[in-house]
Structure 1
Amino acid sequence: MKHPLPLLLLLLTLLSSPGLKAQINAPAGRVVVTYLDSKLLRGNPGGENPRRRVSVYLPVGYDATPARRYPVLYYLHGFTWNDSLIFNKDGMKPLLDQAIAEGKIRPLIVVVPNEQTRFGGSWYVNSATNGPWGDFTSRELTTFIDKQFRTLARPGSRGLAGHSMGGGGTLRLALQYPGNWAAAYALSPALLGPHPSYLPGPGLSQALRATSAAEALSSHPVLSTVAVSRAFSPNPKAPLFGADLPGSLGADSLARRDAALARWVAGTPTYLLPTHTAALRQLRALAFDWGAQDEVRHIPPTCRTFSQWLSSFGIRHTAEEYEGTHGSRIMGHDGRMFQHVLPFFDKHLDFN
């Protein structure tokens, strides 16, 4: 090495910079994995496991200060994802450690339930086939967490956020469970409103031709069609999937089933809004954002429409489109979670 001194000085300068120093030395919280044996999900016709894994982030200081209680942020994962991947692949734990160290948010508990199902995800809705996942998330899970951990067990200290399927779930649960959350923030919310790209979707024909439930697992479009059908047009007596698929096959043609599609539309936050405005008015704050280049084609236009509907009903909210795709700029130091979501909840949750 010809010039060790300048390189050494550069390295020392970088290490002494406040941002990098905090990143290296950020005090570490810990993640606890626990299990909830759900009474609500027990015996569901769809064969979903009622024993649900829940990953819980406990901030630094949780063990050292046993008298202290914390607000809780419930974070809902996306379709085919789960709680373990949120922490072990997406890097939620170091992100939270760093955000607390930098003062983006005060210490809090973050709860991520595993709502991956046999066909990719619960969509966080009550279903006659899958079971009452909306009630599970908003009632049974929150009660369980308040009993197991030192939470500030009141709505003013409870926030709700999620990405993609979890973003749509965030807005749907905010509408359907008034008084349960202080604030809600949805990232790239899916199935926010009707759009021809998923009504009925490219997987319908193959789903209708399936001869076994396992065939849905080999194709993402088919999996999505089946999962949405089990969530929004469930029929426990229907063969293979326990749902009314939004179409039928003729000898040489595919026909849509308007009745099933109507149930899908009725379950979207956009169409729930007119009869659930009081729930959103109880929130201290509501926000959602999405990438302009989102590969999930229905998300940008349905987000814009939902924001327009909120404005029409006079509901205060923040809606932002940014340059990004479905998964870009979500996690990481420069992502939406770190720079926008956590400061949002630091502002709107009660911390004592």
Structure 2
Amino acid sequence: MMRTSIVVLLLLTSLRLAAHPAPTPAGRVVVTYLDSKLLHGNPGGENPRRRVSVYLPAGYDAQAQQRYPVLYYLHGFTWNDSLIFNQDGMKALLDQAIAAKQIRPFILVVPNEQTRFGGSWYVNSATNGPWADFTARELIAFIDKQFRTLAKPGSRGLAGHSMGGGGTLRLALAYPGTWAAAYALSPAFVGPHPSFLPGAGLPQALRATTSAEVQRSYPALATVSLARAFSPNPQHTPFGANLPGSLAADSVARRDAVLARWVLATPTYTLPIHPASLRQLRALAFDWGAQDEVQHIPSTCRNFSSLLTVYGIRHSAEEYEGTHGSRIMGPTGRLYQQVLPFFNKYLDFAP
């Protein structure tokens, strides 16, 4: 009778546990600020005090001696670090991924590089300031000082979506030996394409005289943002940039010299100058949706993959069924299913 009671008790206990599974261990997000010396005094009026959101895995506080690899994640155009966590649900996704062993515990860092005109494009600009140096040098030094990181290139990864995906490829090319691996999601501005050279927003941008006029039109905002990044001219009013066209009485004329600067800034045209940079990576991957509504992305990604093959650079390039923003976040999205296992494989987790 006693034995039967014990068996019944154990059965009931197991049923209760099954009905109420243990909660997923939760990490926490720390919001901190970097007062950038590099961005201080930029002619474009961008705020040098930059917010940085940092995900710390469960156990970070309890295990005071443990150090962690770091994944730097770059957000897209008009987005920011806060939206990555509070709208895209990054924290819950990372908690779930670590609990499911998609990736071992790590730190994720998202800098806020939203600017007055939508985004830095993660490049050095005479108008906006040296955002590439900020990201690849100043931010990393700040994070390594503030948090218990494995402060070595082998334990450092770089990823991003859209503008951040293009930034991922551009920074990997420009700063060899900084990251072990890089993964770009739906990377924008990888190579030249008629849809944005000069782009649908050019006429509106040329006619605008104030920031408010540009902010009302997404295409115009993108045009001005790209110009401030890739054809900056701090003395040129009203936006501190040379736009890739000029207004005639009833038409818009292209300015080839400005367009050339935009083209030469793309990873497609930078790769032949710095192919050794990408060879230093342990792994390089990028992917994009076949139905991406940002028209230039599928074709420029395919072209960039072909060029990487020509230069003998090992990489993974995958086109999947999806749009620009679909299938990125969530447990069935690319970040969870592809990106995190990629970095779990290629980053050093040991001191």
Calculate the TM-score normalised by the size of structure 1: 0.94
* Counterparts of 1:138 and 1:307, CA distance in 2: 24
Post-superposition CA distance 1:172-210 (Å, at most 9, x none): 000000000000000000000000000010010011111
Residue of structure 1 equivalent to 2:4: none
Q: Distance in 2 between matches of 1:84 and 1:69?
A: 25
- Which residue number in structure 1 is paired with residue 175 of structure 2? 177
CA distance in 1: counterparts of 2:209 and 2:70, whole angstroms: 44
SS for the counterpart of 2:33 is strand
Report the CA distance between 1:213 and its aligned residue: 2.2
SS in 1 for 2:195: coil
Match runs of 1:330-345 below 5 Å: 330-345=328-343
Amino acid at match of 1:195: H
Question: Given residue 262 of structure 2, which amino acid in structure 1 is its aligned partner?
Answer: W
Match of 1:202 in 2: 200
Match of 1:231 among 219, 229, 241: 229
Q: Please list, as runs of the form range in 1=range in 2, the aligned pairs for 1:99-178 lying within 5 A after superposition.
A: 99-178=97-176
Q: Does 1:262 align with 2:260?
A: yes
How big is the shift at 1:26?
A: 1.2
> What SS does the aligned partner of 1:98 have?
helix
The partner residue of 1:272 within 270, 286, 290 is: 270
Amino acid at match of 2:256: D
Offset, 1:251: 1.6
For the residue of structure 2 that corresponds to 1:199, the secondary structure is helix
Q: What is the SS of the residue equivalent to 2:196?
A: coil
Cα distance between partner residues in 1 of 2:302 and 2:240: 33
Q: Which residue, 314, 317, 325 being the options, matches 1:316?
A: 314
Equivalenced residues, count: 336
Instruction: Give, in whole Å, the separation in 2 of the partners of 1:300 and 1:253.
Output: 30
Report deviation, 1:130: 0.2
What SS does structure 1 have at the residue aligned with 2:308? helix
CA distance in 1, matches of 2:280, 2:18: 45
Aligned equivalent of 2:295, options 297, 316, 319: 297
Is 1:85 aligned with 2:83?
yes
Using the size of structure 2 for normalisation, the TM-score is 0.94
| Structure 1, unaligned runs of 5 or more | 1-11
What residue in structure 2 maps to residue 9 of structure 1?
none
Q: Runs of 4+ in structure 1 displaced over 4 angstroms?
A: none
Question: What is the CA distance between 1:252 and its match in structure 2?
Answer: 1.8
Q: Which residue, out of 190, 193, 207, partners 1:192?
A: 190
Q: 2:8: which partner in 1?
A: none
The residue type equivalent to 2:282 in the other structure is R
Question: 1:16: Cα distance to partner?
Answer: 4.1
Structure possessing the higher radius of gyration over alpha carbons: 2
Mapped pair 1:212 → 2:218: no
User: Letter of the aligned partner of 2:171 in structure 1?
Assistant: L
Q: 2:263 and 2:209 mapped to 1: Cα distance?
A: 27
1:79 counterpart SS class: coil
The C-alpha deviation readout for 1:123-152, integer Å capped at 9, x for no partner, is: 000000000000000000000000000000
Residue matched to 2:282: 284
Q: Distance in 2 between matches of 1:203 and 1:229?
A: 12
Determine the C-alpha separation between the residues in 1 that align with 2:211 and 2:254.
21
Could you give the per-residue CA deviations for residues 90-134 of structure 1, whole angstroms, max 9, x where no partner exists?
Answer: 000000000000000000000000000000000000000000000
* Structure 2 residues without counterparts, runs of 5 or longer: 1-13
CA RMSD, Structure 1 to Structure 2 (Å): 1.3
